[in-house]
């Protein structure tokens, strides 16, 4: 009989109870036993929800106290030496120390989970001596069975993926690490089998990335070892986020089931099954409900897909499931009361996706009139949004159709623009600037809340913002910064701020998702054609410029970053959404220029986050991402200086695309990887203006003048001095005023030293 399942459930709770419990514990307001108690109740509620909805194979061990990759590392005793771990079950103090750092030890690196907006903690193997500290999947299985009578499906990250996501070893050491880890994995699986577990989900998302012959050898070694050690245990080898590479090798592995993504990997996985078939002795986990998107599925289309799959696998060997963990979507749409009805009717968060999975499972098992009525009703609700005015703004569609076939070029090449801009601005050698935002104090946040609650009038709030701008313009001038910013005190979030001012966006009340640790974000929803309606940033920027004789940069978030940090519609290509955003932002750029703002920064920190996992799709994405940026900025005069900001993004892999953006100045977040980036410039040339972040804003410490001077000196060995800018590596919104002023003063002092050195060297030559 066809079964239903999901690959994981959101941890945070409908009211972010999980986040609140963690932060209360970190601040000392909650004792450890109270934390365990609260998190257990949250965890059991999630299981009850899935049980009540009728999910057959409910995942356990998908819950985490911070991050599931960190959980896997500490389960195997892989703890960096600087945390003074001495063996046994890893204490919470050490666990959170790895994730967040301690007074004496830096946190482990955090990076993106494949191509999602979730971040995981990178395991540090180095000279670790792994040992099984506790069988977390077994504990989760027994808890669900004893507390709720649920025969759970334990989830564990597979060995190949775990190694590929780790650092501190070389490729030549992979076999040695497998020899260390496989006995521990085997012990976990044996104990699960002894406890009566029927199915174990072993997550191997690395199988959708580029694999080499050695990877296939390692896969065979891993799963032959498991098959020999636990022949009676059903292993579901689970992949997601794309179609698998080396399909024939993977379906030949000695496992009882294979999970494939038929949403984001639909074309590739379906083609593989249609071409090569599917093993008659294996179960197919069909991931057909999108675990990353927030739209209701076309249930009729999904049922048709499932019926196609039954040509290759019997319904008895089919599991209807989510395409990936539901970790990436909000918990429930039932509490969203302020959205338009046509939009609410089209949303499916985690709870609603459970209903979709169950309905489709019933349609395969024993369809009846109720099932088909539900499928028909869902289709009608989707069509109501599709035919709405919001998705049919003809003026926007016609404008985008025109600009997408044009080449968005500046009126003059960079070399000519550089001369014109130097003549206009008369900037000194190594101009100093910041990335845009300044500290948002409790006073700023309080004023914004009062304004949103109508406790402050629009004029009172505007007056408050002007006072903040006044203060920080004076601070910047006193420090000696060359190019100023207004500080962004009116902005909560760099995407939300613009989304609230553009047509085609909607904002949820409770649509939170986990980004990393307890950090939750509430992404905007791009549900209609994006349209510019009114000026968004001109008033504050123009006011700031009126208070100083130094140039003030206008500050915008770029089209690709807005898109990648939002939930986007599925009825049109992402490329089209990017061009709609670019066209709207272009109108804001033009408004800033018309208001006398001659330096405009269009930030694109998230360009690389949208990079497809498949290498053969990456060049096309980068082409239209660059084009969207150029559409935004191409119409300005040659004397208008376009800046952009990007986070460190394996610069050497993207240098051609970054240069093709044709920004006059790019600042790059590099302080944590400064040496790696400088090495990229030793191998590549970059002929536009560039600022490498000379200090890390993510830490409250104030770096010394000597530290920053060292970074500047190294950069100048490989970069053209006349094109080099000096700045922090990111915005300063989260920092305090005292540390911000002190750090910026040291930055300006280090710049003066660099100018003196360069002048002396020029004279001596």
Cβ count within 10 A of residue 81: 11
pLDDT at 103: 85
| Dihedral angle over CA of 78, 80, 84, 90, nearest 10 | -30
Beta bridge partners of 4: 320
Question: Model confidence over 532-568: pLDDT tens digits?
Answer: 999 999 999 999 999 999 999 999 999 999 999 999 9
Domain assignment of residue 106, yes or no: no
Domain assignment of residue 475, yes or no: yes
**Are 336 and 474 within one domain?**
no
Pairing verdict, β 525-532 and 502-506: antiparallel
Which of 360, 389, 418 delimits the end of a domain? 389
Q: Where are the alpha helices (DSSP H) in 166-262?
A: 174-194, 213-229, 247-251
**Are 628 and 706 within one domain?**
yes
Tell me which of 119, 652, 698, 758 is the catalytic residue: 698
Which of 599, 691, 597 has the alpha carbon at shortest distance from 642? Answer: 599
Q: What distance in Å separates the CA atoms of residue 531 and residue 395, rounded to the nearest whole number?
A: 9
Q: At what angle do helices 651-660 and 674-683 cross, to 10 degrees?
A: 70
pLDDT at 58: 98
Question: Model confidence over 257-284: pLDDT tens digits?
Answer: 999 999 999 999 999 999 999 999 999 9
**Are 333 and 458 within one domain?**
no
Q: 435: annotated binding-site residue?
A: yes
| Cβ pair 164, 613 in contact under 8 A | no
Q: At what angle do helices 394-403 and 574-594 cross, to 10 degrees?
A: 90
DSSP 8-state code for residue 347: B
pLDDT at 676: 62
**Are 561 and 677 within one domain?**
yes
Q: What distance in Å separates the CA atoms of residue 489 and residue 437, rounded to the nearest whole number?
A: 7
pLDDT at 651: 63
**Are 371 and 458 within one domain?**
no
Question: Model confidence over 602-619: pLDDT tens digits?
Answer: 999 889 889 999 999 999
User: For the chain, how many structural domains are there in total?
Assistant: 2
pLDDT at 34: 98
Question: Model confidence over 383-401: pLDDT tens digits?
Answer: 999 999 999 999 999 999 9
pLDDT bracket for residue 492 (50, 70, 90): confident
46 among known catalytic residues: no
**Are 380 and 402 within one domain?**
no
Beta bridge partners of 261: 287
**Are 698 and 596 within one domain?**
yes
**Are 466 and 343 within one domain?**
no
Phi, psi angles (nearest 5°) of residue 631: -60, -40
Q: Could you give the maximum distance between any two Cα atoms of the chain, in Å?
A: 90
Contacts of 646 (CB under 8 A, 6+ apart): 603, 604, 605, 607, 608, 658, 666, 667, 668, 669
Question: Model confidence over 3-53: pLDDT tens digits?
Answer: 999 999 999 999 999 999 999 999 999 999 999 999 999 999 999 999 999
Q: How far apart are the first and last CA of the chain?
A: 83
Pairing verdict, β 199-203 and 110-112: unpaired
Question: Model confidence over 440-488: pLDDT tens digits?
Answer: 989 999 999 999 999 999 999 999 999 999 999 999 999 999 999 999 9
Q: 488: annotated binding-site residue?
A: yes
Q: 487: annotated binding-site residue?
A: no
Residue found under tokens 């564990």? 156
pLDDT at 455: 95
User: Over the range 485-516, which residues count as b (16 or more CB within 10 Å of their CB) and which as e?
Assistant: bbbbbbbebbbbbbbebbebbbebebbbbbeb
**Are 234 and 369 within one domain?**
yes
Looking at the chain, the whole-number percentage of residues with pLDDT higher than 90 is 84
Domain assignment of residue 121, yes or no: no
> Would you state the structure tokens that stand for residue 55, as one six-digit string?
């999910």
Which of 337, 363, 389 delimits the end of a domain? 389
Which of 372, 389, 406 delimits the end of a domain? 389
**Are 354 and 448 within one domain?**
no
Average pLDDT over residues 84-99: 95
Domain assignment of residue 87, yes or no: no
| Cβ pair 59, 65 in contact under 8 A | no
The beta strand positions in 564-634, using DSSP E, are: 567-568, 599-603
Q: 437: annotated binding-site residue?
A: yes
Q: What distance in Å separates the CA atoms of residue 604 and residue 644, rounded to the nearest whole number?
A: 7
**Are 377 and 424 within one domain?**
no
Q: 755: annotated binding-site residue?
A: no
Q: 409: annotated binding-site residue?
A: no
Indicate the range of 152-156, 366-370, 699-703 predicted with least confidence: 699-703
Q: 730: annotated binding-site residue?
A: yes
Q: What distance in Å separates the CA atoms of residue 745 and residue 88, rounded to the nearest whole number?
A: 47
| Cβ pair 186, 218 in contact under 8 A | no
Flag whether pLDDT at 503 surpasses 60: yes
> Would you state the structure tokens that stand for residue 233, as one six-digit string?
């245990």
What pTM was computed for the model? 0.93
Flag whether pLDDT at 670 surpasses 70: no
Which of 237, 257, 258 has the alpha carbon at shortest distance from 161? Answer: 237
Q: What distance in Å separates the CA atoms of residue 697 and residue 700, rounded to the nearest whole number?
A: 7
Domain assignment of residue 292, yes or no: yes
Q: 18: annotated binding-site residue?
A: yes
Q: 446: annotated binding-site residue?
A: no
3-class DSSP assignment, residue 614: coil
**Are 247 and 285 within one domain?**
yes
**Which residue segment(s) compose the domain that 596 sits in?**
398-490+534-760
| Cβ pair 57, 4 in contact under 8 A | yes
Domain assignment of residue 508, yes or no: no
Phi, psi angles (nearest 5°) of residue 602: -115, 100
Domain assignment of residue 357, yes or no: yes
Domain assignment of residue 651, yes or no: yes
CATH number for position 154:
3.20.20.210
Mean pLDDT of the chain, nearest integer? 94
> Would you state the structure tokens that stand for residue 23, as one six-digit string?
């932060």
Question: Model confidence over 679-732: pLDDT tens digits?
Answer: 777 777 788 999 888 887 776 778 899 989 998 998 898 889 999 999 998 888
Number of H helices, E strands in the chain: 27, 21
Q: What distance in Å separates the CA atoms of residue 522 and residue 344, rounded to the nearest whole number?
A: 16
Q: 458: annotated binding-site residue?
A: no
């Amino acid at each position: 009989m066809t079964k239903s399942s999901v690959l994981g459930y959101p941890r945070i709770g409908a009211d972010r109870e999980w986040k609140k419990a963690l932060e209360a514990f970190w601040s000392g307001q909650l004792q450890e036993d109270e934390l365990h108690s609260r998190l257990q109740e949250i965890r059991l509620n999630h299981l009850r929800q899935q049980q009540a909805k009728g999910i057959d194979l409910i995942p356990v061990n998908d819950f985490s106290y911070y991050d599931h990759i960190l959980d896997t590392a500490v389960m195997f005793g892989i703890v960096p030496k600087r945390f003074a771990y001495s063996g046994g079950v890893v204490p919470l103090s050490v666990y959170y120390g790895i994730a967040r750092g301690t007074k004496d030890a830096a946190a482990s690196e955090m990076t993106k989970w494949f191509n999602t907006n979730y971040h995981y903690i990178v395991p540090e193997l180095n000279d670790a001596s792994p040992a099984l500290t506790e069988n977390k999947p077994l504990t989760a299985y027994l808890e669900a069975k004893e507390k709720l009578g649920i025969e759970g499906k334990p989830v564990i990250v597979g060995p190949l993926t775990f190694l590929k996501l780790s650092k501190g070893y070389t490729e030549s050491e992979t076999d040695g690490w497998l020899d260390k880890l496989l006995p521990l994995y085997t012990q976990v699986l044996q104990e699960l089998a002894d406890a009566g577990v029927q199915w174990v989900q072993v997550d191997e998302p690395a199988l959708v990335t580029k694999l080499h012959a050695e990877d296939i050898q390692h896969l065979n070694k891993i799963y032959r070892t498991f098959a020999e050690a636990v022949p009676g245990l059903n292993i579901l080898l689970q992949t997601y986020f794309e179609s698998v590479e080396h399909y024939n090798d993977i379906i030949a592995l000695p496992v009882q089931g294979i999970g494939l993504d038929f949403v984001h990997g639909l074309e590739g996985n379906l083609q593989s099954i249609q071409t090569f078939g599917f093993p008659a002795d294996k179960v197919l986990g069909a991931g057909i409900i999108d675990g990353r998107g927030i739209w209701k599925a076309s249930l009729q289309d999904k049922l048709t897909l499932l019926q196609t799959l039954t040509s290759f696998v019997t319904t008895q060997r089919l599991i209807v499931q989510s395409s990936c963990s539901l970790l990436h979507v909000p918990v429930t749409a039932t509490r969203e009361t302020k959205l338009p009805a046509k939009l609410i009717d089209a949303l499916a968060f985690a709870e609603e996706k459970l209903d979709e999975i169950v309905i489709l499972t019933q349609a395969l098992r024993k369809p009846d009139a109720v099932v088909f009525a539900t499928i028909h009703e869902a289709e009608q609700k989707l069509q109501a949004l599709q035919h709405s005015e919001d998705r049919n703004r003809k003026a926007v569609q016609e404008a985008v159709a025109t600009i997408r076939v044009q080449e968005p070029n500046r009126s003059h090449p960079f070399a000519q623009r550089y001369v014109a801009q130097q003549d206009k601005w008369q900037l000194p050698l190594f101009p100093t600037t910041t990335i845009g935002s300044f500290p948002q104090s409790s006073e700023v946040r309080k004023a914004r809340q009062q304004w949103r609650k109508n406790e402050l009038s629009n004029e009172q709030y505007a007056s408050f913002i002007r006072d903040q701008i006044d203060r920080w313009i004076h601070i910047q001038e006193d420090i000696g910064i060359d190019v100023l910013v207004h500080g962004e005190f009116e902005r909560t979030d760099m995407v939300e701020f613009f989304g609230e001012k553009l047509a085609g966006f909607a904002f949820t009340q409770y649509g939170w998702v986990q980004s990393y640790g307890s950090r939750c974000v509430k992404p905007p929803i791009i549900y209609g054609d994006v349209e510019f309606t009114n000026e968004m940033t001109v008033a504050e920027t123009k006011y700031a410029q009126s208070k100083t004789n130094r140039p003030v940069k206008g500050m915008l978030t770029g089209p690709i970053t807005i898109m990648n940090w939002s939930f986007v519609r599925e009825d049109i290509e992402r490329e089209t959404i990017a061009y709609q955003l670019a066209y709207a932002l272009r109108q804001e750029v033009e408004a800033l220029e018309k208001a006398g703002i001659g330096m405009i920064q269009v930030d694109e920190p998230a360009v690389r986050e949208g990079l497809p996992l498949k290498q053969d799709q990456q060049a096309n994405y980068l082409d239209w991402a660059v084009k969207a940026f150029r559409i935004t900025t191409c119409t300005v005069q040659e004397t208008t200086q376009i800046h952009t900001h990007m986070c460190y993004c394996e610069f050497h892999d993207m240098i051609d695309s970054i240069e093709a953006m044709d920004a006059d100045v790019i600042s790059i977040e590099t302080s944590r990887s400064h040496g790696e980036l400088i090495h990229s410039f030793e191998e590549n040339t970059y002929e536009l203006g560039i600022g490498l972040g000379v200090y890390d804003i993510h830490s409250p410490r104030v770096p010394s003048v000597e530290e920053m001077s060292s970074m500047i000196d190294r950069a100048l060995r490989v970069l053209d001095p006349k094109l080099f800018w000096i700045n922090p590596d990111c915005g300063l919104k989260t920092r305090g005023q005292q540390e911000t002023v002190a750090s910026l003063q040291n930055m300006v002092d280090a710049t003066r030293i660099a100018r003196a050195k360069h002048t002396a060297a020029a004279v001596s030559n």
